[in-house]
A and B are shown apart, each in its own frame.
Chain A
């Protein structure tokens, strides 16, 4: 186990090195660089120095001098020390901005994750127990519709129905207009209210996969010999399902859920952007579109780490939950 972990971690570092290099090169290809835009803006002010001079000065102060390889080496040497520099758009250290916004994303994804589990697992089990029944078809169709719905469409529909036609929620943002005047509990409730539509959106588009995964695994378990044995012994159907079968579908489900935990921190870029929730996704979207290299680099590397972490957790959990599997 220890050996496996060390090997995987070393491998992850190599992968991260290549991933960050690719991302950095693509980002340096961005022709509409933030620095150029800023220099142009500054040069148009009264009494400003000429554009070229400003550009050179800004390039130096943003650490963009030299070619791409030099820039990458500089970025990497700082990143290893945990210094990701100052965000250009937000004009504060990248990690500080990250700390400000990550909890919105986590709250949103976390609540949606809980809802997914609550909805998907019972429904998946139900549809497996009554295979080819109406309920089964309904669940399958529902799950497939969820998978087939584009996030932006369901978000727009929800806004149209609940914000515009019914007027129950605000269209955008995490806080209402009167947020400052509210008591601390009121402020919390206000934010909760603004999270309802994004959470519903996230849940609807991602519940389908878990539902179908549960169903497939439950079907497999129900067709296995030990279930037949349990039934043959005359156990009640409820006991067979809830005790013998359920325990065994926990293995794949825990593995899947474990591997999705890191992605809770990744932020849902589209959903956050559509509802303007100031989480990591929306913040990164704004940084991306404005060419903020330090923040984007940090975000993309962060996502890559989460992906690697997810597969690692899945592998470990698989070994932990199912003793038949050996990690290496």
Chain B
């Protein structure tokens, strides 16, 4: 009690102080100056409203939100669905390097070595055999090294029987005579312990079998080797080149000749570099370097990769002929080495943290969050206003008719209101949303449909309120008076009845706006409201459905939620203040 009386004293005091500053008339006559100043009802409401601190706060919030959405949207340099791009370095696989453990086959000129024969050959190698058969052809294996075999077809020319150091030659029926030169060459080869010899320009091969041996013409078919050759510019290397190069490599020779050329060889432990006339010509290596893309690798690059990998380096710098230097990263995975290059690529600038260009960062589509918040505000507010207008239209018409005419019209209309109230709103929205999804309705039309649906579901409370008010006003004296004075019906309704309903209507509409904004945001959040590319505060928060976004990119969703909260709060503050101002007895 004492607090109240104190407060009243203060109020009185304040009023007195205010009056002292005003001009006080000294006239004794009852003229205009002396009349008690009476405010019009509207001014009284305004005065009460502006005194209410919370209502003023709400008004300021709303003005801010409107300027943010509508003026902000005009001022922002970015578009609503403008996607920002950025250049970024991404690692791309460029080449692979691996140790080669399989035999690679090189066919001799004009010869064919089917893959089935290759499989048979590997079996023969593993079993230590010197001959194998594939597709009715007998091949002989000539071992040059652990990893290098020549595959040849031998056609016997003669049989040799050696008894007590004397050899007797028997020529094969088909291939004719055995010359003296051949015999001498054979003796020399046996004496030297070699298994091949040359006579009169033809190569022969000796297959020993105890005391008997066979002299055969060797018909080279293929070369099987575990070494990998890479040649400059995709040149095919000949059988002879490969054979001689590998032999030279195994012998650590510094040069070899093949196909009439002499090549220099710089042999390392695993890799040999072959030059012709001082120019890089080929690489022989235990490792295979393959490009990941379609681009062929140059010889110097392969050389650089091999040197870096074998030196266990984690990265390498390679300068191409053009002088462009590229950085490569080398990743080891088991026996495989990945050479990855850092390449500049254009990407969507998504989830950029707040920075100078984007004050609130960018979202998952690389769009400016601040700009989308502004445009989202426009749509949220627009949907709120349109939906509430529909609600009021339906509510006032149906409630007004029911209240004014009463009787059976009232009964029927109120049952309609009951039915609409009983339809569960949320499930209905979900069903309607999925119907719209199915027909893939244009996002812009969808926004209008959303307004219509929200308005059509939510009008019953307004209708009830209007009906109740009109029913009670009809019984009051002022309406009886209008009837008694014979004012015509339309004037009675529009001049005397409706204006009395308006205060409550304004309050309900203001509070209802907030509810509609929440409803719209909820639907957009669930993905059945406003759709991309249009922004709404609800569908901006929608990104939290991805936990990763929710965890790491708070700046995408927290501002949108905050704006919804603030805006709805503003509407509620103002609605509250209006109710207070219209009807001081209710005292909030």
Contact = CB atoms under 8 A, between A and B. Distances in A.
Interface of A: 11, 14-16, 18-19, 22-23, 26-27, 29-32, 131-132, 137, 140-141, 144-145, 147-153, 156-157, 159-160, 164, 171, 212, 215-216, 219, 231, 269-270, 273, 284-285, 288-289, 291, 296, 299-300, 303-304, 307-308
A216 B586 contact: yes
A148 B569 contact: yes
B435 A29 contact: yes
Interface stretch (B416-424, B471-479, B493-501): B416-424
B56 to A, nearest CB: 13
Given A26-B428, A156-B561, 6 more contacts: A18-B419, A132-B7, A137-B54, A151-B522, A219-B587, A285-B430
11 contacts: A15-B419, A16-B422, A23-B423, A26-B428, A30-B434, A140-B588, A149-B565, A150-B518, A288-B434, A291-B434, A296-B431
Interface string B412-454: 0001001101111011101110110111000000000000000
B514 A288 contact: no
Interface in B41-97: 53-54
Interface in B191-225: none
B515 to A, nearest CB: 9
| Smallest CB-CB A-B distances: 8 pairs | A148-B568, A153-B561, A303-B424, A304-B422, A148-B569, A31-B438, A19-B422, A144-B572
B573 A144 contact: yes
B376 to A, nearest CB: 13
A29 B432 CA distance: 9
Contacts of B554: 160
A164 B525 contact: no
A30 B424 contact: no
B564 interface: yes
B551 interface: yes
Interface residues of B, number: 49
B541 interface: yes
Contacts of B189: none
Contacts of B428: 23, 26, 300
Given A19-B419, A269-B426, A284-B427, A148 B434 contact: no
B431 A15 contact: no
B521 interface: yes
A144 B569 contact: yes
Contact of B424 (A16, A212, A304): A304
B521 to A, nearest CB: 5
Query: How would you classify the secondary structure of chain B's contact residues: helix, strand, loop or mixed?
Result: helix
Contacts of B422: 15-16, 19, 304, 307-308
A289 B561 contact: no
B368 interface: no
Interface string B546-558: 0100110010011
Given A270-B522, A304-B422, A14 B415 contact: yes
B544 interface: yes
B63 to A, nearest CB: 17
Interface of B: 1, 7, 53-54, 415, 418-419, 421-424, 426-428, 430-432, 434-435, 437-439, 514, 518, 521-522, 525-526, 538, 541, 544, 547, 550-551, 554, 557-558, 561, 564-565, 568-569, 571-573, 576, 586-588
Given A30-B435, A288-B430, A19 B423 contact: yes
A141 B54 contact: yes
A48 B254 CA distance: 72
B518 A148 contact: yes
Nearest to B571: A148
A171 B547 contact: yes
A22 B426 contact: no
Contacts of A307: 421-422, 424
A32 B435 CA distance: 8
Contacts of A299: 424, 427
Contacts of B53: 137
B559 to A, nearest CB: 11
A214 to B, nearest CB: 12
A289 B522 contact: no
Contacts of B415: 11, 14-15
Contacts, number: 131
Contacts of B434: 30, 32, 288-289, 291
Nearest to A299: B427
Contacts of A27: 431
Nearest to A231: B1
Contacts of B427: 269, 284, 288, 296, 299-300, 303
A268 to B, nearest CB: 10
Contact of A22 (B54, B421, B423, B561): B423
Contacts of A31: 435, 438-439
Nearest to A21: B419
Nearest to B1: A231
A111 B43 CA distance: 47
Contacts of A29: 435
Contact of A147 (B423, B557, B564, B572): B572
A8 to B, nearest CB: 11
A309 to B, nearest CB: 11
Nearest to A273: B526
Contacts of B565: 145, 148-150, 153
Contacts of A231: 1
A284 B426 CA distance: 11
A315 to B, nearest CB: 13
A17 B526 CA distance: 30
Given A140-B588, A159-B550, A285-B430, A150 B522 contact: yes
Contacts of B547: 164, 171
A152 B54 CA distance: 26
A142 B491 CA distance: 44
Question: Taking each of B430, B437, B514, B587, which has the highest tally of chain A beta carbons within 10 Å of its own beta carbon?
Answer: B587
Contact of B564 (A16, A150, A164): A150
Contacts of B550: 156, 159-160, 164
A131 B423 contact: no
Nearest to A307: B422
B418 A156 contact: no
B572 A148 contact: yes
Contacts of A157: 558, 561
A150 B572 contact: no
A148 B431 contact: no
A147 B575 CA distance: 13
B579 to A, nearest CB: 10
Nearest to B564: A150
Nearest to B572: A144
Contacts of B588: 140, 212, 215-216, 219
B435 A152 contact: no
B301 to A, nearest CB: 47
Contacts of A284: 427
B410 to A, nearest CB: 14
A273 B438 CA distance: 22
Contact of A150 (B423, B424, B432, B561): B561
Nearest to A284: B427
Contacts of B421: 307
